[in-house]
Structure 1
Amino acid sequence: MNDTVEKALRLWGMDGAEHRVFAARENVVHKVRHEGAAYALRLHRAGYRSDDELVSELEMMEAARQAGLHVPAPVVSERGNVAETVDDVQVDMLSWLDGAPVGKSGEPLAPSCGPALFRSIGGEVARLHAAMDDWTPPPQFSRCAWDHDGLLGEAPVWGRFWENPTLNPADRELFVRLRDVAGADLAALAPGLDYGLIHADLVRENVILEGERVQLIDFDDAGFGFRLFDIATTLLKNIDEPAYADLKSGLLAGYHAVRPLDVAALDLFLALRSATYVGWIASKLNEEGAAARNDRFVARTRWLAQGYLARKGATA
């Protein structure tokens, strides 16, 4: 892989630049230093996105940046491309954003990460949505859709959560029931919901703070979707915090200070967002630590599904 990195650096005119692996989650990200500046070289996992989808992600990020949001800027290669393929690996280069993530999923938030911060995050999410509504994507723009089919159809974006092979019979029945009821509810509500381009992965690790500046990174899962999906993603990863109610109030207040959003269906999207992780982990069960993560995802979705169905009077 190091040889691939060296070849990629040459395409951006950074031959011999200092680099190190910074993150190795879905993609492998190298922090590169060249001529006094820092960059993020991303090596994308095979088969996840087409070339058009990858270029579209970068176009979306650039549109957000030009609208004043603090997001990475795509860096064009010496051949004039925002993305290249090296040794059959899709690669791109982004400007580096200094700062630190809000936190790490599964760990308690720092005391400084309170409602005031979440108000700022909510405002930034709202500005992203507003910027995307003001932007006209180019004709070849291609991204996934976190719509009804993308969440609950025959081939959801992150997999058929109700068929996760680790589910016991009771959980399988519960998740099938959730799919049926939530599917009907979403179909009825969808025409009136705010829908457009979203980030789709606003977890703690993807919100970077530099002082009071809120920066958004990792648009790898960005696409078309319900705006409540972005809100639900952020809230879901903080739902176990003792101050969750205050964090939620702060996030929504920050959002509503910028643009309106009907949050009446938020409980539905919390359950659906949780369910996506049960589908996502199903193809990764052989990875280190996956069993424990799977157990957490299933337990969280069980709790949210039971609560949602109970409120709907649809538990039987």
Structure 2
Amino acid sequence: MGHESPEETKPQIPEQAKHAYGIKTNRFLGGFESWIYEYDHPAGTRILRITPLSHRCPDQIRAELDWVRYLGENGLSVSKPVPTLDGRWVFHLDEGDSAGTAAAFLKAPGKPPTNEDWDTPLFRNMGEFVGKMHALTKAYTPLNPQCRRPEWREELDDCGDRYLDRVDDGIAKRFWENREYLDQLPKGPDSFGLVHSDVHRGNFFLDRGKITLFDFDDSTYSWFVEDIALALFYAVFPGTEERRKDAPRFYEAFLEGYARMNALSSQWLKEIPFFMKKRELLLYLVLTGRKRTDHPFMKGRKERLLEDLPVVEIPF
């Protein structure tokens, strides 16, 4: 759900990872649930991600990379994985506190979208991209069925186990109400599958108008409509009144683009508020648990959750 790191904490790439990928010079970019680095390569700049075992097991990362490779091989512009010098997609790290896995990717071409880019044509472009991703995913078969990404409820339950005892009973009640509602939704091949689960302007670059998406670390099995809901959620993030007022324009353009690339029953759009509420609750729990109550997102958030106010006022 993001990458950030205390300024004083800038961990070095373990030596075994440097040797595995032939890394000579690198720059630390940040971290949240993984450490992210940029390194030089004769074929172009690459990204290295170090993930602790406590966050993802190696099989989950293999499943992520398999899906990303599939999307890239079928015409979607994604930050493609690259193997180690000896051909391994996932590299195991076993150096004490650095135990975990490493994975590398081509750096996406272009730059982050600017405020000038953030307008209706880009919103439509984002919708087309997500629609194409979902259309491709319907035909996706994992290379190894035993290597699977988590299901939607696993992230939710893990977050609840960690942080529910740190919030008020009223917030916990909202959490369980939301989970129980989502749990009864039907699943089918046209509505449920792998989703990116974190599509926002911080996770793609623009190169002459073309989107390249990266950071599939949150990818999970869920309903396709969740990707639409989260794109809208982050379009209004951190939830200021000005951002919320612009939500209908973003949503209309995004949905117009999406419909060009993938068919999704309009009935699913009515579920968007519940998926937005899910992310709102998750962020509230994480930021509360990590004592980040000064984050702009948290201003008035507890009251909004207790009153069960919608994230945006749109007639879905």
Superposition TM-score tier, normalisation by shorter sequence: 0.7 to 0.9
| CA distance in structure 1 between the aligned counterparts of 2:304 and 2:36, rounded to whole angstroms | 30
Match of 2:17 in 1: 8
Q: Which stretch has the larger CA shift, 74-83 or 288-297?
A: 288-297
Alignment pair present for 1:61 and 2:68: yes
| CA distance in structure 2 between the aligned counterparts of 1:189 and 1:134, rounded to whole angstroms | 19
Read off the aligned partner of 2:166 and give its amino acid letter. Answer: P
Q: 1:141 pairs with 138, 147, 157, which one? A: 147
The answer to whether the Cα contact below 8 Å between 1:199 and 1:219 also exists between their aligned partners in 2 is: yes
Match of 2:191 in 1: 194
| CA distance in structure 1 between the aligned counterparts of 2:307 and 2:45, rounded to whole angstroms | 42
Read off the aligned partner of 2:201 and give its amino acid letter. Answer: R
- How far off is 1:94 after superposition? 0.8
Distance of aligned partners of 1:161 and 1:268 in 2 relative to their CA distance in 1, 3 Å threshold:
farther
Structure 1: 5+ residue stretches without partners: 104-109, 312-316
Read off the aligned partner of 1:128 and give its amino acid letter. Answer: M
What does 1:65-76 correspond to in 2, within 5 Å? 65-76=72-83
The answer to whether the Cα contact below 8 Å between 1:145 and 1:225 also exists between their aligned partners in 2 is: yes
Match of 2:308 in 1: 305
The answer to whether the Cα contact below 8 Å between 2:163 and 2:286 also exists between their aligned partners in 1 is: no
- How far off is 1:178 after superposition? 4.4
Match of 1:211 in 2: 208
Distance of aligned partners of 1:61 and 1:304 in 2 relative to their CA distance in 1, 3 Å threshold:
farther
Read off the aligned partner of 1:142 and give its amino acid letter. Answer: R
| CA distance in structure 2 between the aligned counterparts of 1:9 and 1:291, rounded to whole angstroms | 37
Give the TM-score, by structure 1 length.
0.80
The answer to whether the Cα contact below 8 Å between 1:274 and 1:301 also exists between their aligned partners in 2 is: no
Distance of aligned partners of 1:179 and 1:33 in 2 relative to their CA distance in 1, 3 Å threshold:
closer
Q: 2:44 pairs with 26, 37, 43, which one? A: 37
Alignment pair present for 1:249 and 2:252: yes
Structure 2: 5+ residue stretches without partners: 1-9
- Deviations 1:74-125 (Å, cap 9, x if unpaired)? 111123211112221311111111222336xxxxxx2431121111110110
The answer to whether the Cα contact below 8 Å between 1:121 and 1:214 also exists between their aligned partners in 2 is: yes
Identity of aligned residues (%): 20
- How far off is 1:130 after superposition? 1.4
Distance of aligned partners of 1:297 and 1:144 in 2 relative to their CA distance in 1, 3 Å threshold:
farther
The answer to whether the Cα contact below 8 Å between 2:78 and 2:212 also exists between their aligned partners in 1 is: yes
What does 1:166-315 correspond to in 2, within 5 Å? 166-167=167-168, 169-180=169-180, 182-183=181-182, 187-190=184-187, 194-239=191-236, 240=239, 241=243, 242-279=245-282, 282-283=285-286, 285=288, 287=290, 289-292=292-295, 295-296=298-299, 298-299=301-302, 302=305, 305-307=308-310
SS for the counterpart of 2:47 is strand
Distance of aligned partners of 1:41 and 1:176 in 2 relative to their CA distance in 1, 3 Å threshold:
closer
Distance of aligned partners of 1:192 and 1:129 in 2 relative to their CA distance in 1, 3 Å threshold:
closer
Distance of aligned partners of 1:191 and 1:70 in 2 relative to their CA distance in 1, 3 Å threshold:
closer
Q: Cα RMSD over matched residues?
A: 3.1
| CA distance in structure 1 between the aligned counterparts of 2:294 and 2:162, rounded to whole angstroms | 15
Q: 1:89 pairs with 84, 94, 100, which one? A: 100
The answer to whether the Cα contact below 8 Å between 2:22 and 2:85 also exists between their aligned partners in 1 is: yes
- How far off is 1:277 after superposition? 4.5
Distance of aligned partners of 1:203 and 1:297 in 2 relative to their CA distance in 1, 3 Å threshold:
farther
SS for the counterpart of 2:108 is coil
Large movers: runs of 4+ above 6 Å = none
- Deviations 1:164-198 (Å, cap 9, x if unpaired)? 6233x544444554455x34xx6155459711111
Match of 1:107 in 2: none
| CA distance in structure 1 between the aligned counterparts of 2:305 and 2:137, rounded to whole angstroms | 34
Match of 1:23 in 2: 30
What is the aligned residue count? 292
Alignment pair present for 1:165 and 2:172: no
Q: Which stretch has the larger CA shift, 67-76 or 285-294?
A: 285-294
Match of 2:3 in 1: none
Match of 2:86 in 1: 79
- How far off is 1:281 after superposition? 5.2
- Deviations 1:126-158 (Å, cap 9, x if unpaired)? 111111122211233311112xx447xxx6354
